[in-house]
A and B are shown apart, each in its own frame.
Chain A
């Protein structure tokens, strides 16, 4: 297990370095002069040269990369060109919106998907199954930003229950903050829940046919208890895997949703950075989001191994049989 852990952590470090290299390469090696992009074609030679020097663009590329990557490790993300303040501070301020939003939508998605998936599985082939899976099929096809617009139409425009957009800040009280994040979180959660519910359903159906569930039933355990107590925990392995995959979609989703609801989160910062040609901010946010996708997927792998010891043994000599 320790060897497996070390291998995974080494792999994680290599992936993070590789991802940062890719981001750096895309942003710096492809044709296009960041200084020229920022200042526009009307800038004088001297101004351009001064900005290039300030940004370190006159250094060799490998030194630029080391400067940037080394800074990232120390928490120094560079200076935003638009705001003229450290990017790290800008990002940190926005995490207070993006992290709660992401957490709320994951929580909601799981809270909806697991019961729906289990009910559909236990009613396989019946009307409840058909209705729930029909709804899930529709949910997968609905773009989250459109769902957000529909929620605004219903709960802000029609009913006036929730604010249509904006974020009052956590200083205005927990209730107001949560109210502002509720619709965005639901818009993000429902399409994810639809996918998760389908995975949960098929995983529970598969697990319900296993020997240990039959044994539990034979020993007199009620069907409901056998499903929730024995089939579901085993079905959670594929569900957690899919949840890990969904994380990257979720991050992309927050970028879009924050723009639908004009929430001052990381996605909105990223978007404004593009509009303002604030390349260092774009580069930092992209590497941060990509890095978190890689970290989460490694955590899912590790969780997988913790749940099922066969995973870490797979690939070892003489142990690759079905066990």
Chain B
């Protein structure tokens, strides 16, 4: 069975971005931070395929290195969100009653804090940095995973295999690991892909504002911020990092949509 188109394109774009990020760890055309004042703001050429920035740094090399920064922040942020949110959701669903109500109200409360505001508060106290961005985006991801895991587990709790496991006295911990999490995994994985895309976007916004990765660490958002002074003279400079962000986010979104289509039997029947 051949893969649907959005899954194919999404997979290709995601592999491209991840591949570039891995490659940049070992090789970039120039060292991303190498300053070359004689060739500052150079247009694209054979030597610098995408030109150079206001410090004469090679734009392609910086874009390649920025992929790693962006993906790393997003991976950690999603891991924080899923790592805390999923157990909380499972506990809420299994515990029910007061535990459920308390945890879900807490999720509602957390949801009222957009990543940007959390990052702003942390930065105001501790100064900017990539760790703050990860933490802020991660915190915003917690209620997303908690709600989804709770919903998935609630529907699983009524299923025969869970009832049977409870009837023969399997402890909750065993049921959670053996029955609940594996069955909820696909839907959680799809959501993780979508949250990953949102995390890349949020990280770009934070580093654009100077609240994310700090120099000299390369970052797409900061490249955009720095390029803004040159919109009048070098219009290519602000365009390129944005394309990198769009490619990464579009790839992950298509991947998530494609996976969801495959997992959702209702949609599959419609084909």
Mark A residues whose CB is within 8 Å of B. 15, 18-19, 22-23, 26-27, 30, 32, 37, 137-138, 140-146, 149-150, 152-153, 157, 164, 248-249, 251-252, 255-256, 259-260, 270-271, 273-274, 277, 279, 282-283, 286, 289-290, 293-294, 297
Contact = CB atoms under 8 A, between A and B. Distances in A.
Contact of B253 (A37, A137, A251, A273): A137
Contacts of B235: 153, 157
B183 interface: no
Nearest to A297: B112
B242 A252 contact: no
B170 interface: no
A15 B104 CA distance: 12
A30 B57 CA distance: 39
Contacts of B123: 274
A239 B114 CA distance: 20
A252 B112 contact: no
Given A18-B109, A290-B117, 18 more contacts: A15-B109, A26-B122, A32-B126, A137-B253, A137-B257, A141-B201, A141-B249, A141-B250, A142-B246, A143-B249, A145-B205, A146-B204, A149-B227, A153-B235, A157-B232, A248-B111, A252-B114, A252-B116
Contact of A271 (B112, B114, B209): B209
Contacts of A137: 6, 250, 253-254, 257
Nearest to B6: A137
Contact of A143 (B6, B205, B228): B205
B229 to A, nearest CB: 11
Given A23-B121, A153-B239, A143 B112 contact: no
19 contacts: A19-B109, A26-B121, A27-B121, A30-B125, A137-B253, A143-B245, A143-B249, A144-B205, A164-B231, A255-B209, A256-B209, A270-B120, A277-B124, A279-B124, A279-B125, A282-B124, A283-B121, A290-B112, A294-B112
Most chain-B Cβ atoms within 10 A of its Cβ — which of A145, A157, A283?
A145
Contacts of B115: 252
Contacts of B231: 149, 152-153, 157, 164
Contacts of A37: 125
A136 to B, nearest CB: 11
A181 B103 CA distance: 41
Given A142-B246, A282-B124, A153 B114 contact: no
A284 B108 CA distance: 21
B201 A290 contact: no
Nearest to B106: A18
Chain A residues touching B, majority SS:
helix
Interface residues on B, range: 35 or more
Given A32-B125, A277-B124, A289 B117 contact: yes
Interface string B95-120: 00000000001001101111111001
Given A157-B235, A256-B205, A150 B242 contact: yes
Interface of B: 6, 105, 108-109, 111-117, 120-126, 197, 201, 204-205, 208-209, 211, 224, 227-228, 231-232, 235, 238-239, 241-242, 245-246, 249-250, 253-254, 257
A290 B231 CA distance: 34
A101 B48 CA distance: 40
B120 A286 contact: yes
Chain B residues touching A, majority SS:
helix
Contacts of A260: 228
A37 B250 CA distance: 41
A143 B109 contact: no
Contacts of A140: 249, 253
Contacts of B211: 274
A152 B227 CA distance: 13
Contact of A249 (B108, B114, B209, B249): B114
Contacts of A251: 114
B241 to A, nearest CB: 8
A311 to B, nearest CB: 16
B224 A146 contact: yes
B264 to A, nearest CB: 12
A142 B241 CA distance: 11
B242 A146 contact: yes
A248 B112 contact: yes
Contacts of B122: 26
A141 B207 CA distance: 17
B237 to A, nearest CB: 10
B165 to A, nearest CB: 27
A263 to B, nearest CB: 14
B4 to A, nearest CB: 13
